[in-house]
Chains A and B, each alone.
Chain A
Amino acid sequence: MNAGGVELRGVRAAYRGREVLHGIDLSIRSGERVALIGPNGAGKSTLLRCVTGTAPDRRGEVLVGGTPVSALSREAMARRVAVVPQQATVPFATSVEQLVALGRIPHEHPFLGLRDADRLAVARAIERVGLVHLVGRDARELSQGERQLALLAMAVAQDAACLLLDEPTVHLDLRHQVATMELLAELNERDGVTVVAVLHDVALAAHFFPRLVVLDGGRIAADGGPETALAPDLVRRVFGVDPGLVARAATVPFALAAARPALTVATGVSRPPSTPLGPLS
């Protein structure tokens, strides 16, 4: 089954006539965990927008779960691909479970709204992400880290085979960065959800993602495991920094089984970080 697979063939995208992606060919199998890295302006977010079909001026072919995006309705798309929102503010008082329930929009009854199955899916997502202790709280009172996890729970409630994230850790402290990453690994390895995340923190990406796609100037500069994607000359060329900065992180790949041998239900941020964080701290 290829429900969560993503395939890009000769994808080009432009903003106001300026091309920012120059022919991307990329194949992500269902159940893979892929980080998109690269310097600012490399086209990482645009690439995600091509997958969701929201990039305004794009050419080439994008397939999700084997079906061209252009042939899918918005709603069918939302049932296949969940995008963790970057916008985290709501204009009205909204409880955590009401926020998470927004993920059920593509599934709920067009007139009746949430049904029992939807409410259970919300409860399950809240449990999965470890937000049980925040149920009933106003989403606007949460800390940045808690809010990020609530948005992640919303995407989990969407029950899509593919999860897309754009800079999910950008405003988070180290503990929440690690908690988010562990959760993504768990969703990927235990539930088989395809995870594609744009990440700025190369070390974090190398530690938690088995496959890294390096974008540079709208082209794929490297694609593979940390050793390939973060080879010293590539790091120097693409990021313009001393490769030694990221080298150590790349040598210690994250393994879910090793990190938590006795795997219980995720409890989110309340558990202690279970992986050595030497290179990051």
Chain B
Amino acid sequence: MVATPRTLPAISPAAREAAALLARSRTRAVALGIAGVAVLLVVLVAGVGLGEVVIRPADTVAILAHRLLGWPVARTWSAADETIVLQLRLPRVLSAIAVGASLALAGTALQGLLRNPLADPYVLGTASGAALGAALGVLIPVRALILGFGLLQGLAFAGALGAVTVVYRLSRTGQLSTMTGVLLTGYAVSSLLAAGLAITMWLSGDNLRQIFFFLLGGFDGVAWPQLAAALPAMLLGGALLLTRGRALNGLLLGEETAVHLGLDVRRERIVLLAAASLVTAASVAIAGLIGFVGLVVPHVVRLVVGPDGRSVLPLSAIWGGAFLAACDLVARIPGDIPVGVVTALLGAPFFLWILRRSRSGYEL
């Protein structure tokens, strides 16, 4: 809306450069998205084909095309191969993709909402809540399975969501600026839960190893039922997060400016926190605690395309999924080392390299 009619002055070529740069970062985002989908497909085929029994890529693609898409493909593979692909490896690879995408989305959302580059999906207590829940699940001698989920997964999911809820509730009475309050409350509650986890581990005796495995994270033994149980929460939360690009942009300069730019900040805050917590809790229930993906992937994406949430959110999801599925493949080949070890071993040097070569002097 313009107060008085005015003639718009011609824009100088130098100023047009600003518009061109903005258009170019959009083009770069599209290119990175296409590349990401291609990498994702390669990782999917490699992840399904490679392992103790190696299935040729052509057969892998044919099995997937035949069984999942219903394409009429001449059968060149054995029934055993098909079982390995569809029953053992596919759910595992898809879980890794879903968890990687979820964690990267949650990391993007929380970094933007808390305006803190060091934020990750676990910053508001989800990790310690899930860990305590899982540890209690190991201790309680009930071994019922519902949809492939045991007590451990259920309590991990509940613990993660419970911890965030407690953090959010407690922080609302604080006198600090809201998001700083949430962050500090998250730290305090996490410490408390960590103490609970330590006691539980100390009491756990022979079950210690099982708790330890959960804390390291991994996709060993993940099958269709677990994925099917966790997927709805991930899809719901993920879809909500993917539409939050405008909110993340508005929040770049803080909550007050976001209000002045026309955003309903109170609503956005709740949607971002709830959706990020939901996908994180579902991820933790499937795969335990996997670090690094949610912290690093959003930063790497921002280095390439800038801070526009509309680009960063979908690109983080694509590359987070591809990255974690690739890490899981690497973890699987030497005989199932914890995937968290691989995410750190692959991710950290790569991230450091990018930080060093980035022209703009990217600082955290």
Give the interface of A toward B (CB within 8 A): 1, 3-4, 30-31, 52, 54, 65, 73-83, 85-88, 90-103, 105-106, 108, 110-111, 113-114, 116, 119-120, 122-124, 126-127, 132-133, 135-136, 138, 140-141, 151, 158-162, 190-194, 265
Contacts A79-B1, A93-B360 given: A102-B249 contact, CB under 8 Å?
yes
Contacts A159-B2, A192-B6 given: A91-B116 contact, CB under 8 Å?
yes
Q: Within the complex, which residue of A31, A74, A99, A162 is in contact with B259, where a contact is CB–CB below 8 Å? A: A74
A77 to B260, CA, bound (A): 8
A193 to B26, CA, bound (A): 31
List 15 contacting pairs A-B, 8 Å CB cutoff, sorted by A: A31-B3, A52-B259, A80-B1, A93-B303, A93-B362, A98-B308, A105-B246, A105-B249, A119-B19, A126-B15, A127-B11, A135-B14, A136-B17, A161-B2, A161-B3
List of B residues within 8 angstroms of A96 by Cβ: 18
B181 at the interface (CB under 8 A from A): no
A114 to B311, CA, bound (A): 12
Closest chain-A Cβ to B258's Cβ sits at a distance in Å of: 9
- B328-364, CB under 8 A of A: which get 1 and which 0? 0000000000000000000000000000000011110
A103 to B250, CA, bound (A): 9
Contacts A82-B260, A98-B307 given: A126-B3 contact, CB under 8 Å?
no
Closest B-chain residue to A81, C-beta based?
Answer: B260
Closest B-chain residue to A75, C-beta based?
Answer: B262
Closest A-chain residue to B298, C-beta based?
Answer: A92
- Determine if A119 and B22 form an interchain contact, defined as CB atoms under 8 angstroms apart: yes
Closest chain-B Cβ to A73's Cβ sits at a distance in Å of: 8
- Determine if B253 and A127 form an interchain contact, defined as CB atoms under 8 angstroms apart: no
A142 to B127, CA, bound (A): 38
Closest chain-A Cβ to B311's Cβ sits at a distance in Å of: 8
B25 at the interface (CB under 8 A from A): yes
Closest chain-A Cβ to B315's Cβ sits at a distance in Å of: 14
- Determine if B307 and A93 form an interchain contact, defined as CB atoms under 8 angstroms apart: yes
List of B residues within 8 angstroms of A31 by Cβ: 3-4
Q: Which of B1-39 contact A (CB under 8 A)?
A: 1-4, 6, 8-9, 11-12, 14-19, 21-23, 25-26
A92 to B358, CA, bound (A): 13
Q: Within the complex, which residue of B1, B12, B262 is in contact with A265, where a contact is CB–CB below 8 Å? A: B12
Q: Within the complex, which residue of A54, A140, A193 is in contact with B3, where a contact is CB–CB below 8 Å? A: A193
Count contacts between A and B, CB distance < 8 Å: 176
A2 to B265, CA, bound (A): 29
Closest A-chain residue to B258, C-beta based?
Answer: A105
Count chain B CB atoms within 10 A of each CB in A3, A78, A82 and give the residue with the most.
A78
List of A residues within 8 angstroms of B269 by Cβ: none
- Determine if A74 and B262 form an interchain contact, defined as CB atoms under 8 angstroms apart: yes
- Determine if A94 and B1 form an interchain contact, defined as CB atoms under 8 angstroms apart: no
List of B residues within 8 angstroms of A120 by Cβ: 11, 19
- Determine if A123 and B253 form an interchain contact, defined as CB atoms under 8 angstroms apart: no
- Determine if B18 and A123 form an interchain contact, defined as CB atoms under 8 angstroms apart: yes
- Determine if A91 and B115 form an interchain contact, defined as CB atoms under 8 angstroms apart: yes
Q: Which 7 A-B pairs have the closest CB atoms?
A: A78-B262, A192-B4, A75-B262, A127-B15, A119-B19, A106-B262, A161-B3
A133 to B249, CA, bound (A): 24
Q: Within the complex, which residue of B11, B25, B303, B361 is in contact with A98, where a contact is CB–CB below 8 Å? A: B25
A86 to B131, CA, bound (A): 41
Closest B-chain residue to A79, C-beta based?
Answer: B1
Count chain A CB atoms within 10 A of each CB in B22, B243, B257, B360 and give the residue with the most.
B22
A82 to B261, CA, bound (A): 8
- Determine if B246 and A110 form an interchain contact, defined as CB atoms under 8 angstroms apart: yes
List of B residues within 8 angstroms of A76 by Cβ: 262
A209 to B14, CA, bound (A): 32
- Determine if A123 and B16 form an interchain contact, defined as CB atoms under 8 angstroms apart: yes
- Determine if B3 and A4 form an interchain contact, defined as CB atoms under 8 angstroms apart: yes
Q: Within the complex, which residue of B8, B116, B253 is in contact with A102, where a contact is CB–CB below 8 Å? A: B253
List of A residues within 8 angstroms of B250 by Cβ: 102, 105
Q: Within the complex, which residue of B6, B21, B245, B256 is in contact with A97, where a contact is CB–CB below 8 Å? A: B21
List of A residues within 8 angstroms of B302 by Cβ: 92-93
Contacts A92-B307, A94-B252, A127-B12 given: A105-B262 contact, CB under 8 Å?
yes
Closest B-chain residue to A4, C-beta based?
Answer: B3
A127 to B17, CA, bound (A): 11
- Determine if A194 and B3 form an interchain contact, defined as CB atoms under 8 angstroms apart: yes
Closest chain-A Cβ to B356's Cβ sits at a distance in Å of: 15
A26 to B309, CA, bound (A): 40
Closest chain-B Cβ to A51's Cβ sits at a distance in Å of: 11
Closest B-chain residue to A134, C-beta based?
Answer: B18
A92 to B253, CA, bound (A): 10
A76 to B254, CA, bound (A): 20
B111 at the interface (CB under 8 A from A): yes
Q: Within the complex, which residue of A30, A54, A151, A158 is in contact with B256, where a contact is CB–CB below 8 Å? A: A54
Closest chain-B Cβ to A240's Cβ sits at a distance in Å of: 31
Closest chain-B Cβ to A150's Cβ sits at a distance in Å of: 11
Contacts A93-B303, A93-B306, A94-B307 given: A124-B15 contact, CB under 8 Å?
yes
List of A residues within 8 angstroms of B246 by Cβ: 105, 108, 110, 113
- Determine if A3 and B307 form an interchain contact, defined as CB atoms under 8 angstroms apart: no
A83 to B253, CA, bound (A): 12
Contacts A3-B1, A4-B3, A127-B12 given: A85-B310 contact, CB under 8 Å?
no
- Determine if A123 and B19 form an interchain contact, defined as CB atoms under 8 angstroms apart: yes
Count chain A CB atoms within 10 A of each CB in B1, B259, B260 and give the residue with the most.
B260
List of B residues within 8 angstroms of A162 by Cβ: 3
A4 to B1, CA, bound (A): 9
- Determine if B18 and A122 form an interchain contact, defined as CB atoms under 8 angstroms apart: yes
